[in-house]
Amino acid sequence: MGIINQGINGSFRGKAGSVIGSGWKKIDYIKGRPRRYKNKGNPSAAQSLQQKKFTLLNQFFKPVSHILTIGFGSALQKSTARNAAFRYNYDHAFLFAGEEPSLNYSALKFSHGSLFPPGQEKAVMLNGEIKITWNTKTYGLSGGLDDEVHIILYIPSIDQFVLVRPTALRYSGEASFAMENFGEKGELIHLWMFLCDSQRKRVSPTVYLAVQHD
């Protein structure tokens, strides 16, 4: 049975007749019991496209939810990180070949914030190792030397994410990752990086880099 804690205007949790009260992320919900929907048949072309887009983006973000928690930390009060990332990316994350959507990797964002990115970001493949470099100067305004640099690699041939660990700091100016056991030669490795301060309160926008596997 649902109990109203704050009087007539208060929220409640549980069932009261045909009404169900619940709460999530400090948002109070009041819902009717689920209605029975008739089977509407096959989706239209437009519906089918939307469903494909939803599936594609949701599946893509699924393995990196914990990174999105850092990148979209400011939105977590009333949303999950994956939902926030989904909403932020949905409008510009797709390329279309006919009616088949595919992800526009260069437009994907894993963070949203106002911390200044380091600049001069570069990724090169050398002797089976990806080396990522960036500018370490902060110019008095662009964040702290101890900002964490989060680097996410995506290898399309095995549909797998790789996180560069241990997390580099801004002052180190470089990070590297051995690619010998990953991916196929000649394929394009997608790479995103963003920074967050040591308290993980401010994050920078995402920078996209791509590098050819040698």
Residue selected from 104, 205, 208, 213 as contacting other proteins according to rule CB under 8 A: 205
| Residue whose pair of structure tokens reads 């305004």 in the numeric block | 141
Considering only residues 25-44, where is the footprint of other proteins by CB under 8 A?
A: 30-32
> CA–CA separation, 145 vs 141, rounded Å?
11
CB of 53 or CB of 137, closer to other proteins: 137
The minimum distance between CB 121 and other proteins, in angstroms, equals 11
* Contact predicate 182/162, CB 8 Å: yes
The minimum distance between CB 65 and other proteins, in angstroms, equals 25
The minimum distance between CB 32 and other proteins, in angstroms, equals 5
12-27 b/e (C-beta count within 10 Å ≥ 16 → b): beeeeeeebbeeeeee
Contact flag: residue 137 with other proteins (CB under 8 A): yes
Residue selected from 7, 140, 166, 186 as contacting other proteins according to rule CB under 8 A: 140
Contact flag: residue 141 with other proteins (CB under 8 A): yes
DSSP string for 105-128: GGG--S----SPP-S--EEEEETT
Enumerate residues 6+ apart whose C-beta is below 8 A from 178.
128, 129
Q: Coil, strand or helix: which one is 70?
A: helix
The minimum distance between CB 119 and other proteins, in angstroms, equals 5
Considering only residues 101-120, where is the footprint of other proteins by CB under 8 A?
A: 114-117, 119-120
Taking the CA of residue 33 as centre, how many other CA atoms within 13 Å lie in the half-sphere pointing to its CB? 6
Contact flag: residue 142 with other proteins (CB under 8 A): yes
CB of 114 or CB of 199, closer to other proteins: 114
What's the DSSP call for residue 203? B
The minimum distance between CB 110 and other proteins, in angstroms, equals 15
Residues at the contact surface with other proteins, assessed by CB under 8 A: 30-32, 114-117, 119-120, 135, 137, 139-142, 204-205
